[in-house]
Structure 1
Amino acid sequence: MTQHDADAFEAVPRPVVSRANVYPASFELATHRHRRGQLLYASRGTVAVTTPFGAWIAPPERAVWIPGGTPHSVRMIGAVNTNSVYLETMVIGTLGEACRVLSVSPLLRALLVEAAAVPREYDPAGRDGLLMSLVVAEIARAPTVPLALPLPTHATLSARCARFFERPTVTEAIDGWAEDLSMHRRSFTRLFRRETGMSFAQWRQQACLLSALPRLAAGESVTAIALDLGYESATSFSTMFRRALGVPPSMHRSPYPSASP
């Protein structure tokens, strides 16, 4: 299927349903929600999911878990092919009630691609039913990776964070933000941590990291990205990247990084 409206899947009498979509570069899905929980996986391209609570970016070896009922918008970075599965509450298990990014193993990737070809009302006792059960089992064991950016609910601070995420730089200082919000530095730091659960420096670094991922996936050079984000050199950027994700940025320029850093 190529229609982005998933409402037709809500009434299918199966605990797990799947579908594939193809989107052009820079396509955006307006804010919407599904009754079922959704695992959104892009086998090609990168997806950026935004909710009232934060932003999550998933390159091809990652997927975003979106709990049922969560309002979310999706922005495509590059041309995107998605393979989504929608899960009823009875099979969600430990996936939880908060969005998160999951690592997609080669096995889970193959299962998600295969599941998209399964008929809506498949035989639960047949091969298709076994396939869907295995999809759920592999999703349940997929590890979470730190690719989230919490967004504040405080209106003025939220707007300031959104502007920063459009063009993040590691050189922006906390004093400038406090001045923008007409706050003393100490009051600003307390507000920022209360609203995001992170220090300003941690949040700024995470914003730069998430901004870099789709650019790496698009083939941009590490040096160009590092300098654009305000790092003094590609080495300093790579050190931050490896510390945060356990691998150098060059590993995110191909769909399947090798196991060793």
Structure 2
Amino acid sequence: MIVKYDPVAFEAVPRPVVSRGHEYPASFEMATHQHRRGQLLYAAAGTVAVTTPEGAWIAPPERAVWIPGGTPHSVRMVGSVSTRSVYIEQSASTALGEHCRVLAVAPLLRALLVAAVDVPREYDQDGRDGLLMSLVVEEIARAPTIPLALPLPTYAPLAARCAAFLEQPRMSETIDDWAADLGMHRRRFTRLFRRETGTSFAQWRQQACLLVALPRLAAGESVTTVALDLGYESSTSFSTMFRRVLGKSPSHYRP
């Protein structure tokens, strides 16, 4: 199911920070949209995938996606998802940055996001509710960035090759494979890839596999099945990479 974005609910509220929560069924999708305010999208349960013209971001449990105001984006829910979002005016969000990123959600920030949903839209800015909303913004600004982003190229042939890889990612694919597919010499390909994505092919390939793996794990697939499908020699080698990047084992993200 895909729905369109309705800006009426919060864009015109005369407060610098507003919050709302939603419950979504599995595979629910929000069509590409944008809003004037910046958004912190937090899935209290389930996993969300955010896609923009610049890349893709995955937020499993204990993570959230910061989406700056004016950024076109679509959202896909992996499994049943319960979201808690805050929408922040630009004047109050300058410290949060102008680029999408995935943030770690510490226990304090999680409690604040859950509590913020119950705050009235037109709350007393000088009272407790105003202090709570101000603290939400402060804690978001302090939250560490987690490497769960996948930059996407704009060069059409390379973008198409990246899209094909995301449909069926394999760690066994090499620079030489991709260079041959695009009719390029290896050196030209590596220069183009880094210029278009800001990262090396090996780093991008690993990150793509990680972002594909997270929704599958969240859906309940076994670590071994996911690892072998992605072309890892064993679940052990996959788990080692996973812990190195995210600090936790793949099984942590299974229901």
Write the letter of the residue equivalent to 1:125: D
Query: 2:198: which partner in 1?
Result: 197
Alpha-carbon distance in 2 for matches of 1:242, 1:81:
26
| 1:28 alignment counterpart | 29
**Equivalent position amino acid for 1:201 in 2:** A
Residue of structure 1 in register with 2:229 after alignment: 228
- Change in Cα spacing, 1:7 to 1:183, as seen in structure 2 (3 Å) is farther
Q: 1:226 to 1:107 in 2, by over 3 A?
A: same
Once the two structures are TM-superposed, the CA of residue 55 in structure 1 deviates from its matched residue by 0.5
Confirm whether residue 218 of structure 1 aligns to residue 219 of structure 2.
yes
| Contact 1:52 1:71 (C-alpha < 8 Å) held by counterparts | yes
What SS does the corresponding residue of 2:30 show, helix, strand or coil? strand
Counterpart CA distance in 1 for 2:6 and 2:114 is 19
Give the superposition deviation at 1:228: 1.0
Aligned-partner SS, 2:212: helix
Percent identical across equivalent pairs?
77
Within a 5 Å distance, the mapping from 1:51-200 to structure 2 comes to 51-200=52-201
Distance 1:251 1:7 in 2: 38
C-alpha separation in 2, matches of 1:111 and 1:13: 21
- Structure 2 distance, partners of 1:27, 1:169, is 27
Report the aligned-residue RMSD: 1.6
2 CA distance for matches of 1:183 and 1:174?
Answer: 10
5 Å-filtered alignment, 1:32-51, equals 32-51=33-52
Once residues 10 and 185 of structure 1 are traced to their aligned partners in structure 2, the CA distance between those partners, rounded to angstroms, is 49
Ranges in structure 1 where 5+ consecutive residues have no aligned partner: 255-261
The answer on whether the counterparts of 2:5 and 2:33 sit within 8 Å (CA) in structure 1 is: no
List structure 1 runs of 4+ shifted beyond 4 angstroms.
none
8 Å contact kept, 1:93–1:140: no
Q: Is the 8 A contact 2:7 2:35 kept in 1?
A: yes
Q: Would you say the 8 A contact 1:4–1:21 is kept in 2?
A: no
How many pairs align? 253
Supply the AA of the counterpart residue of 1:119: P
Q: Quick check: 1:7–1:34 contact (8 Å CA) kept in 2?
A: no
Q: TM-score, normalised by structure 2?
A: 0.94
Q: Distance in 2 between matches of 1:3 and 1:99?
A: 21
Question: What is the SS of the residue equivalent to 2:93?
Answer: helix
Counterparts of 2:242 and 2:139, CA distance in 1: 27
Q: Which residue of 1 aligns with 2:17?
A: 16
| CA displacement 1:39-67 (0-9 Å, x = unmatched) | 00111111110111110000121000000
Equivalent residue letter for 1:49:
V
